[in-house]
């Protein structure tokens, strides 16, 4: 499941990476009211950087209000033909709706100090000058020339160096929106990959070689709602269905897809032993447009190399493979980032997407003192009715799937009920006394698990395989699950209480930020000794497909929701 987020981007037509010979733009010299004079080369003094890291999540988009009260320095710019000048800048250097303007932009948009194409270029609104924001070349120009206003050529935001912030002006915003709409119309709408405004976000981490490659490969592909790019079968290499179904789920995880397709991974290891490099290549194979099944032999070899408990052609557990794959990807990302020994503070793409925080509260039954710990998690493993763990009904009239609380299989349950059982208080008993920090003695206590921090993508594992000294079996209890799941009741902040066997919600209303949308389901058919894994994955907004190794077939939402899970 993935939380609704605006982080996912879409591809668009790139600007051609042609570097101009001179530092000045002949196009801007034609603008009335602008003084083309030579760019400043002074490197004295630096202004504080109010926006030190060009992170797309923090970037200003047109329409965002960073300074509601407005900026008094804008009035100094609003003279002569300022509207016409601003429109020309948006048309030629920000939104660029035609191939000709894109070519001109690629030639003209270079830093006048270092000659770089990237590094978050800004254009001075008072004269012909382009400068890097990340290297502070535009800051130096603003200080030396006292030109307070500049425009971000990537997102279109207006920056004031006197206020040291992106500013909001109603008139400027209106011009920006009008020119953006014109550019989209010229490009054929936002659904076409020719949207320059979108691709420039991706180009913020491209290298000059990538720009040159894009210039010599002008062919573009249009993505429609019926497009099947990204759907590709995987050859079963001998009981490797457990791997294939997880790979299908990972390659259709939106944020992971965007990360690998934008070539964000910079490997410092040997690429032939790096699982992250192999995953990057796998994403390229999936989204290349080829329809023939892919043979993941290199991926299997690397998994065997780095997770030896999965080596061999015996049947394996898909959940074990998921955790092992995330662990190896996490370690290899860490090895590149030099943070391998600090797992709780990792900022790798795996932790950003999949890591949540599980809060454990242990309450003393004597003094009611609470001891709290928070541990990271990649998945939530849920017990099912029919296991050796007793269950009780949690909703009036609901089928708990047990008889007399003995854990015998009789019917069905829901994912929500499983989560309620997971987060309800549990009495630890007299055989598991814990030393209380308040009583300074060993006392009986209760333990309750709640979600302190939710991951962007939540993975739920239904514990269908039960192993004990006397019993090995698969629990076939049917578990219904929704297309959308609200995790607010299971958060540590929701403060649910149980009264007369019923959960009472606190006054806090359900938070839309905690809602998840279903995008992948992994199923196991068969018995514990002999079975087969398949998966359902979501393509676009509401199209579902069943992935059975090399065979991909269209599926309905009913097929997905009726599956065992």
- Point out which residues pair with 231 in neighbouring strands: none
Phi, psi of 299 (to 5 degrees): -60, -45
| Residues 326/350, Cβ–Cβ less than 8 Å | yes
Q: Which of 92, 124, 241, 245 is catalytic?
A: 241
Position of tokens 């296991």?
Answer: 387
Position of tokens 């997770």?
Answer: 307
| Residues 252/4, Cβ–Cβ less than 8 Å | no
CA triple 560-562-563, angle to 5 deg: 70
Residue 419 CA to residue 402 CA, distance in Å, equals 17
Question: H or E segment at 283?
Answer: helix 275-286
Residue 467, token pair as written in the block: 């192993």
Q: Is 532 a catalytic residue?
A: yes
98 to each of 24, 103, 110, 322, 416, how far by Cα in Å? Answer: 21, 9, 19, 45, 51
Burial of 384 from C-beta contacts in 10 A (0-12 / 13-18 / 19+): buried
338 to each of 52, 268, 342, how far by Cα in Å? Answer: 22, 10, 9
- Point out which residues pair with 160 in neighbouring strands: 149, 165
CA triple 76-79-81, angle to 5 deg: 140
Q: Which of 61, 73, 461, 532 is catalytic?
A: 532
CA triple 374-380-383, angle to 5 deg: 120
Residue 306 CA to residue 286 CA, distance in Å, equals 23
| Rg (the chain; Cα; Å) | 28
Q: Is 207 a catalytic residue?
A: no
- Going along 266-398, which residue ranges are E strands? 356-364, 370-377, 380-382
SS3 465: strand
Question: End-to-end alpha-carbon separation of the chain, Å?
Answer: 13
Residues with Cβ within 8 Å of 440's Cβ and at least 6 positions away in sequence, in order, are none
84 to each of 78, 91, 100, 390, how far by Cα in Å? Answer: 11, 10, 20, 74
Active site residues: 241, 532
């Amino acid at each position: 499941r993935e939380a609704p987020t605006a982080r996912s981007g879409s591809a668009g037509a790139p600007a051609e990476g042609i570097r101009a010979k001179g530092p000045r733009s002949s196009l801007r010299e034609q603008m009335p009211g602008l003084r083309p004079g030579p760019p400043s080369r002074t490197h004295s003094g630096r202004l504080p950087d109010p926006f030190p890291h060009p992170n797309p999540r923090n970037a200003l988009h047109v329409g965002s209000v960073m300074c509601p009260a407005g900026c008094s320095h804008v009035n100094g710019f609003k003279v002569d033909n300022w509207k016409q000048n601003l429109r020309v800048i948006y048309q030629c250097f920000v939104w660029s709706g035609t191939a000709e303007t894109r070519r001109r932009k690629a030639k003209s948009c270079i830093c006048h100090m270092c000659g770089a194409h990237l590094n978050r270029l800004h254009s001075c609104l008072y004269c012909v000058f382009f400068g890097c924001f990340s290297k502070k070349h535009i800051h130096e120009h603003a200080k030396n020339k006292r030109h307070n206003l500049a425009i971000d050529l990537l997102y279109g935001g207006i920056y004031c160096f006197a206020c040291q912030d992106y500013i909001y002006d109603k008139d400027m915003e209106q011009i920006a929106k009008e020119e953006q709409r014109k550019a989209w119309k010229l490009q054929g709408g936002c659904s076409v990959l020719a949207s320059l405004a979108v691709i420039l976000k991706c180009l913020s981490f491209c290298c000059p070689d990538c720009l040159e490659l894009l210039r010599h490969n002008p062919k573009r592909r249009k993505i429609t709602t019926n497009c099947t790019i990204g759907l590709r079968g995987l050859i079963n290499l001998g009981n490797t269905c457990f791997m294939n179904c997880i790979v299908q789920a990972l390659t259709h995880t939106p944020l992971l897809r965007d990360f690998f397709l934008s070539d964000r991974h910079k490997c410092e290891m040997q690429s032939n032993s790096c699982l992250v490099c192999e995953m990057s290549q796998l994403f390229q194979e999936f989204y290349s447009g080829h329809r023939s099944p892919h043979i993941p032999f290199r991926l299997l070899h690397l998994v065997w190399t780095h997770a030896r408990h999965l080596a061999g052609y015996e049947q394996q557990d898909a959940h074990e493979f998921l955790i092992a794959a995330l662990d190896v990807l996490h370690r290899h990302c860490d090895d590149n980032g030099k943070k391998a020994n600090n797992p709780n503070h990792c900022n790798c793409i795996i932790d950003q997407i999949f890591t949540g925080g599980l809060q454990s509260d242990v309450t003393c039954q004597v003094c009611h003192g609470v001891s709290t710990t928070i541990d990271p998690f990649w998945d939530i493993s849920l017990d099912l009715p029919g296991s050796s763990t007793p269950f009780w009904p949690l909703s009036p009239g609901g089928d708990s799937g047990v008889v007399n609380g003995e854990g015998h299989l009789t019917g069905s349950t829901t994912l929500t009920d499983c989560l309620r059982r997971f987060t309800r208080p549990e009495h630890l008993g007299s055989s598991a006394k814990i030393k209380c920090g308040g009583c300074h003695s060993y006392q009986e206590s209760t333990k309750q698990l709640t979600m302190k921090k939710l991951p962007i993508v939540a993975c739920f594992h239904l514990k269908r395989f039960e192993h004990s000294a006397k019993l090995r079996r698969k629990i076939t209890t049917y578990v219904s699950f929704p297309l959308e799941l609200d995790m607010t009741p299971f958060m540590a902040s929701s403060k649910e209480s149980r009264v007369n066997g019923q959960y009472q919600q606190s006054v806090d209303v359900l938070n839309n930020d905690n809602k998840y949308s279903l995008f992948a389901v992994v199923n196991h058919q068969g018995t514990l000794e002999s079975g087969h894994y398949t998966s359902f994955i979501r393509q676009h907004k509401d199209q579902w497909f069943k992935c059975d190794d090399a065979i991909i077939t269209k599926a309905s939402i009913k097929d997905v929701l009726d599956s065992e899970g």
